Structure 1
Amino acid sequence: MTLVTEDTAPEPTSAARASGAETPGRARGPSQPPLRFRIITASLLAVAAVYFLVPLYWLVVSATKNTEGLFGSFGFWFADPHPFRYLGDLLAHDDGIYVRWFVNSLLYAGAGAVAATLLSAAAGYALAKFPFPGREGVFNLVLAGVLVPGTALALPLYLLFSELGLSNTYWAVLIPSVVSPFGVYLCRIYAAAAVPDSLLEAARIDGAGEARIFSVLALRLMTPALVTVFLFQFVHVWNNFFLPLVMLSDSRLYPLQLGLTGWQGYADRQPVLYQYTVGGAFLSVVPLMVLMGVLQRYWRTGLTEGSVK
């Protein structure tokens, strides 16, 4: 009796090869990693998910409690049968100052992120597609700007805006928010890879101007990079604390982060502010979660854009 092993298995006939049939014992499709590696990967991802989601869960639970419940009940379970009944008190406190802070944050982060995205797209596209003397020097200067922390620029910016009479105004926070060196760097790299020169030349031959080429062709091809820049800048401005602290003295102009920090500082004298601070922190993360859920599909589109020819 002759044993047929994988090494001695007969080769498929020409008819079988033509019909796409596979020989038993041969691997089908790409090989998967060993089971132990998949288990380790899934375990690490589960630990990371718990690490990031537990603080959010604590915020959700704590937002349903009053001040006594925050300190007198189990921290990871609801203490009131009517969830979020205390958020109305938060929104009405001090003539609705929290709502004003929320709108201010939306203005600073939304307008700043949109302007920063468009400016970064234009600058990155120009650095990638238009050769001019000193282009690499300008790009290196932008890279140097990525390395400078924002806290180091806060005081010089305050002195500059004070000279211009713009300190303690909306412009003092909005204007610095439209500058994103990282956005320029990312858009330059992405435009060089995703916007083909042949497409630009074809558009110029057809009579399209540079502004139309940029607005119709380049921006559409750069969508994944623009979404990334917008989200990064939105989160950066939304969570920015030091620049508004230096620039603003009128509490009506405060963003959420600065206002909630002020409440926390007075909570020893007004314990109800503990409840308002926790509830306000919970509401402050809702726009970021919504934005991430809405925009993530553009990342998936960008990752798979060139996978099928």
Structure 2
Amino acid sequence: MNIKNNDPGVLKSFRRDQAAAQNGISLGLIKNVYDGAIEYTAIAAGMRGMIMLAGLMTAAFGIWWGQFFLFDVLENRKFGPFMLSVIFCSMLFFISSAYFAIKFTRLELFRPEDEPTLFDRKNRKVYRIYREVYAGWRGLLTPWPVKTAEYDWDLIDVQHHAAVTTTGSTVSRQHGLIFLVRKTATDPTLVDSFSIGNSIQMGEVTVPAVWEHLRRFMEEDGPHLPPGEVLRLAERPTTFWQCMASTGPYGANFRLWWHEQTALMVLGVIFFPIVFPIMTLLGIFNWLSYKTSIPIKWSPSVQAAINASSPKHS
């Protein structure tokens, strides 16, 4: 079904009976394949720890700006209406920074080891394991439960979304492949939504191509994996040093990265005082994320539906 949507963030509503791209791709997101099902991972390789790093860096930036304005007011010792507004803004910086630091840390720690999505063409079902995250300060201080959801494939509409972001000097668009779940065949009320991939992987060209592979698989008995692609390796680092090696040019990675990405490595060496602390923090946060991760598994009913005891090797 091709639904209409006046949201300017929706670039396209995809049709199931119409090709969205010449070729389909998976971007290495498929982690398991079964006789009539494919399982997508939600956490791209090397991404664990990135959320926490981004949140803490954002918080540090906000605290720095807040104290900069606050100390300027205290040094001048002039507490007129303008200065009081500056103090108020400084407090907002501190509060917002604390919120981002806590929320992004919670997003990374004690999260499920994966939040996969399973597309079952045999039974025309979609299954998800995900952590429900609540917004606001109240939600920040409440438990975030891990849940499982099951949807009818025929009640799902798929869209290409794009959001404009700016850093002050540059403007870019973040793309997403979004799945919207309707209540019933006769009631278009949206009851849930989810996505596969992330804004780093997804782009204007890759979103239609990722959908095209899934469309062919579910609607046209297409292959489990796109031609030339392999399953995502789900190897989990078991030690601190393995986590460090998975996120930065440490040990044997230095020579490998130097050979494959010489230009970036040269820049990394030049800006070593900046790059090294960031990569080290990312490795530490990666280790903390794995160390506190929550094991997951599909329910017996889902495993029976997809015949999980007999995975298909592609």
Q: Normalising to structure 2: TM-score of the pair?
A: 0.22
Greater helix fraction, Structure 1 or Structure 2 = 1
Greater strand fraction, Structure 1 or Structure 2 = 2
